Structure 1
Amino acid sequence: MGITCVIRYEIDPFQRDAFKEYATHWANIIPRCGGHLLGYFLPHEGTNDIAWGLIAFESLGAYETYRARLRSDPDGRRNFAMAHERRLILKEERTFVEVVDGTLGVAPVSAGGAS
């Protein structure tokens, strides 16, 4: 993975289930259009109106190609329209980050032998 697009959503907390539906639809659309979906995350505890989406790409060029495919994808257009019609996303911000080598997906170390 070269870069990860971190999408921060401000959502209507009363439409959490609708945002979950919106996010679930991306699970098929994003990979088909060339993105590596790392996941969507809903608020669980604390702030109830912030959600996140993380999508990885080899480069910014790959991201631009993905965006073009996404705009022409019928399911993608439908999903964007659903979110717009329901007004479930109040604000959306994108940041591009790169992983620090050796830090992604490091599992916890087992305490081993504890009873």
Structure 2
Amino acid sequence: MITCFLKYTIDAQKIVEFETYGKMWIDLVNKYGGLHHGYLLPHEGANNIGYASFSFPSLADYEVYRNRMVSGPDCKKALDYAVQTKCIISYERSFMKPVFSGNKDKAKLPV
């Protein structure tokens, strides 16, 4: 499994628009075979930083999604919305391998 982690710099005056954008992508990522883990909007602290993450079974599956979304009209609508509202200033994208289970099943932990 591979998780795409996004850090957004957003316009602090357009949090509502960024939330609308995020809700569009949650449905789209799930529709195109991924598992969206949601968006995190500013609440306390920095008022212009947001996060999102979603997973695909593999990087190859993510690439299939990226190729399919280019031609998806709903994807274009979401991208156009961000451009029109100017709610996103910039973003950073990283790919990570998630760890979802702890050591409770291990008899002895490493020292």
TM-score, scaled to structure 2: 0.87
Aligned residue-pair number: 102
Letter in 2 for 1:49: N
What are structure 2's unaligned runs of at least 5 residues? 103-111
1:20 CA drift (Å): 0.6
Aligned to 2:90: 91
Counterpart-to-counterpart distance in 2, 1:82 and 1:28? 15
Distance 2:27 2:86 in 1: 22
CA shift for structure 1 position 87: 1.1
The answer to whether residue 72 in structure 2 is matched with residue 73 in structure 1 is yes
If the length of structure 1 is used for normalisation, what is the TM-score? Answer: 0.84
Structure 2 counterparts to residues 30-45 of structure 1, below 5 A: 30-45=29-44
Quote the offset at 1:101 in angstroms. 5.1
The 2-side partners of 1:7 and 1:37 are apart by 12
Identical counterparts, % of pairs: 36
Runs (4 or more) in structure 1 with deviation over 3 Å come to: none
Q: Which runs of 5+ in 1 are unaligned?
A: 104-115
Match of 2:55 in 1: 56
In angstroms, what is the RMSD of aligned CA positions? 1.1
